[in-house]
Structure formats: C-alpha cells, structure tokens
C-alpha cells in the first residue's frame, strides 16, 4: 500500500488526524494493534476545550457532541466543609468547556471514517516503523498470517504511551522528563445522576475526590488511593461510603449510589518526551506526553497536537512548504509544558501527599482560600482550565 500519511493508533488523536487530512484531500491509513471493540471499551475522561470542539466540527463529526454534550460554565472546589463555585464563563469572557465522553467521541470518528470508506487496519500484529530518518519511511505489520507494508511520506505516531512509535526512536535522540505521583485514582462509572450540574473537586484530609459525569443519568467518581491498591479490593458499598466521607455535607447528601458499570485504578504521572519529531516520524498525544487527569488536559493536548500536525501536512502538500513540519515539535512543546504546569499545580493543590505534613496541608488550605477570594487567582485558573489561546 502507498499513502501520503501512515497513522499508527486509532485513538482520538489518530482518528481525528485522519479525518482532518481526508477533508483536505490527503490520503492516510490508520493502523491499530487492537480491535475496534477494545478501543471503544476504553473508559476515559471527556472534558473538551473549545479548540477540541472546533476541531471536531472541522472534521465534520461535531453534530452529536453539540446535541448530547453538556456545556459547563463553571467548576466547584470543595474544602473546609464547603463548596465554592468558580464561574469559568465570567472569568474568561464567555468561554466554557463541554463534557462529552472520549468513548463517544472515538465512536463518532470511527463511524465517519467507515462511512467515507477510508482505509483502517485493526488487530495489526507486530507493527514496526522503519526508515523514518530518511526519505522513504515504511510501516510493516502482520494480519491474518500475512505480512503487510505501507509506504508513505510521513508517519504519525498516535499510538499512546506504550506504543511502538516512540519506542522505535533511538534512545540518544530522546530526552525524557517524568514525575510519577505517589498515588492513583480509583474510578467508578455508574448509571446514577451526578451530584451537581458541574464537576466537584474536593480537597479532604482523607484524600482527594472528584464527582464528575458522562450524562445527566451517568456519573463518574474518583478517589485518591495508594499505588498498591487494586480496584477489585473495593466493593461498591465501600467506594460510596469513602466518597461520602470526602465530600462536604451538602454534596454527600445529594449523592445517589448504585451498582458500578466499571471500576478501575489509574496511576498518575507527568511525562514529556522531547522532541516530538524525528525525521519523517511525528509523535502526537500520549505517545509524546502524559498529564495527571486533575487538570482535564490529556485529550485536549492530543487535539492540540493534531491541530498543529494536520496544518503542517496540509501546508506541505498544498503550498509545498515544510515550515509547519519544521516548527511542529517546538510549537507543540510550548503548549505541552504549560498544560503540564497547570496539571501539576491542580494535582499539588488538591491531593494529600505522604511527605506533605501539616505545614503542607495548611499551605493547601491557604492557596484554596486565596483562589476562591481573589479575582486574579480565579481568572488564572479559569483561563488554564478552559484552554489557553494558541500562539500561531
């Protein structure tokens, strides 16, 4: 097979890139090691900045997001036994976020790709990327017992943190920055109504808690847990009891419990690989960076990478200019590090760290109190939460 772009990975980054390239008349194939069902079974967050919403519209897949997604004009911070609302819309001059599950977003992109008859390969084994440091890059894989080769101009590595693309880069060409946090999140998905119309982030002496949602009838809740904990150790009753303990009285009273649909542990880490381009190989999304989910930036950073990368490819083929390709890594990383900073800040502000001590707890309380009573501090958090403007 010969295409212009070979996209490795069919998560939101790879599928969104493929759809944007298709609408620009650029031929691409998506190659995925897992099955479609496995990809759609992944439970991930879905808080979309305006840039992510705009990209879905540009890709022609935003209709269901607008119809079913939940627009949020604020968030709530709970500490000291009370909830405090931050009005994102007012603080940012009319900007908001939208809750729309990543699973649904992925489904929309998959269906659009299938409807257009675009080539996708699922359950591709032994995926390898070759010769990306030259002018004739290739991707090889095995499927149904046969070896296949895709020749292309460029390879987009959208295959996640554990994918083959970043792992194929020579160690000396990569610089890794990483922080692993000394705790994780236990998440529960349930067909129960949310406790509030907006997300509730709770700082509590027993640990962090988050009350979120996927729809008006489906909620998603998280508890800070130790890294050696396991989801199977928690009964539904134990989870709900612990969640109540970490919420203010009003929120705890509003909590509706029920049987869990899904329960899982999520480790927290901050991770950046630099640079994000190696000859004809470009990393995007989780292949290049991971953020703790506290700041709701992971999916949006992937969309940001795709925005830069799709524009670079379109400029290359339409205008015969490699300027966007040359600038891709630097432009992405400026935005990545700002998102890393914000996600680290939110994580540090809301979680209990084992070495923090009482002094650290008091600093957190003072910071939270300052945040909800200072227009400048609240505006800074709001600007980062809804998404920083692009510096094109």
Contact 196, 228 (CB under 8 A): no
What are the residues facing 179 on neighbouring strands? 270
Contact 211, 195 (CB under 8 A): yes
CB atoms within 10 A of CB 147: 10
E strands, 144-255, where?
Answer: 146-151, 154-157, 175-190, 200-202, 209-215, 218-225
If phi over 0 gives left and psi between -120 and 50 gives alpha, with beta otherwise, what is residue 11?
A: beta
Contact 89, 74 (CB under 8 A): yes
Q: The tokens of 121 are what?
A: 């390969």
Positions marked active-site: 72, 201, 293, 297, 385
Q: What is the 3-state composition of the chain as percent helix, strand, coil, each rounded to the nearest 5?
A: 40, 30, 30
């Amino acid at each position: 097979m010969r295409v212009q772009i070979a996209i490795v990975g069919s998560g939101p980054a790879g599928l969104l890139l493929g759809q944007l390239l298709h609408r620009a008349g650029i031929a691409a194939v998506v190659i995925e090691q897992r099955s479609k069902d496995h990809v759609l079974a992944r439970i991930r967050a879905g808080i979309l900045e305006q840039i992510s919403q705009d990209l879905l519209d540009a890709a022609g897949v935003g209709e269901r997001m607008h119809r079913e997604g939940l627009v949020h004009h604020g968030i709530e911070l709970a500490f000291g036994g009370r909830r405090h609302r931050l009005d994102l819309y007012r603080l940012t001059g009319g900007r908001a976020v939208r809750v729309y599950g990543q699973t649904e977003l992925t489904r929309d992109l998959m269906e659009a790709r299938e409807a257009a008859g675009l080539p996708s390969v699922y359950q591709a084994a032994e995926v390898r990327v070759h010769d990306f440091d030259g002018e004739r890059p290739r991707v090889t894989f095995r499927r149904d017992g046969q070896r296949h080769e895709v020749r292309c101009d460029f390879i987009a590595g959208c295959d996640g943190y554990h994918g083959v693309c970043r792992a194929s880069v020579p160690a000396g060409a990569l610089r890794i920055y990483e922080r692993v946090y000394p705790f994780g999140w236990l998440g529960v998905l349930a067909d129960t109504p949310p406790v509030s119309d907006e997300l509730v982030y709770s700082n509590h002496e027993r640990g962090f808690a988050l009350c979120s949602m996927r729809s008006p009838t489906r909620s998603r809740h998280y508890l800070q847990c130790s890294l050696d904990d396991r989801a199977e150790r928690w009964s539904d009753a134990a989870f709900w009891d612990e969640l109540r303990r970490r919420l203010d009285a009003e929120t705890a009273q509003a909590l509706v419990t029920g049987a869990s649909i899904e329960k899982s542990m999520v480790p927290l880490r901050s991770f950046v690989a630099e640079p994000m381009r190696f000859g004809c190989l470009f990393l995007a999304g989780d292949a290049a960076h991971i953020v703790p989910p506290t700041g709701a930036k992971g999916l949006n950073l992937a969309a940001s990478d795709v925005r830069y990368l799709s524009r670079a490819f379109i400029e290359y083929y339409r205008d015969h200019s490699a300027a966007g390709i040359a600038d891709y890594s630097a432009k992405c990383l400026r935005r990545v590090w700002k998102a890393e900073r914000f996600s680290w800040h939110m994580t540090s502000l809301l979680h209990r760290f084992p070495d923090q001590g009482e002094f650290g707890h008091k600093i957190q309380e003072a910071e939270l109190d300052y945040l909800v009573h200072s227009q400048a501090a609240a505006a800074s958090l709001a600007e980062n939460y809804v998404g920083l403007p692009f510096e094109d």
